[in-house]
């Protein structure tokens, strides 16, 4: 069985020790692959580097009970480009 990879993934946990209304509702971290991050920096055309994220709300069970977390991952998905290759018998197709 393949080990779970934490590269380019992270978790936001609900902040239970919120001391003021302005404090964050969630706290967490994400572990970024250094080479992927450097690639994003190199491809940047401005002083800003945009990192797109995907997130899922998940219920986890801890020793303190059930909690909801936000599981995050870098958005590295790109749609595959489809290219129609004309075959030899395409002229015989009536549509």
Q: Please write the tens of the pLDDT for every residue from 16-62.
A: 888 888 888 888 888 888 888 888 888 888 888 888 888 888 888 88
Number of structural domains the chain divides into: 1
Is residue 53 one of the residues assigned to a domain? yes
Is residue 88 one of the residues assigned to a domain? no
Separation between Cα atoms, residue 94 and residue 68, nearest integer Å: 55
Is residue 70 one of the residues assigned to a domain? yes
Residue 41's domain spans which residues?
9-77
Tokens of 59: 């219920």
Average pLDDT, the chain: 75
Is residue 89 one of the residues assigned to a domain? no
Indicate if the pLDDT at residue 2 is higher than 80: no
Answer whether 31's CB lies under 8 Å from 8's CB: yes
């Amino acid at each position: 069985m393949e080990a779970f990879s934490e590269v380019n993934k992270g978790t936001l946990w609900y902040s239970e020790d919120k001391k003021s209304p302005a404090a964050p509702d969630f706290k967490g971290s994400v572990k970024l692959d250094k080479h992927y991050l450097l690639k994003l920096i190199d491809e940047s055309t401005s002083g800003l580097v945009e990192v797109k994220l995907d997130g899922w709300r998940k219920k986890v069970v801890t020793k303190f009970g059930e909690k909801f977390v936000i599981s995050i991952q870098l958005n590295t998905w790109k749609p595959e480009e489809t290219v129609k290759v004309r075959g030899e018998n395409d002229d015989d197709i009536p549509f």
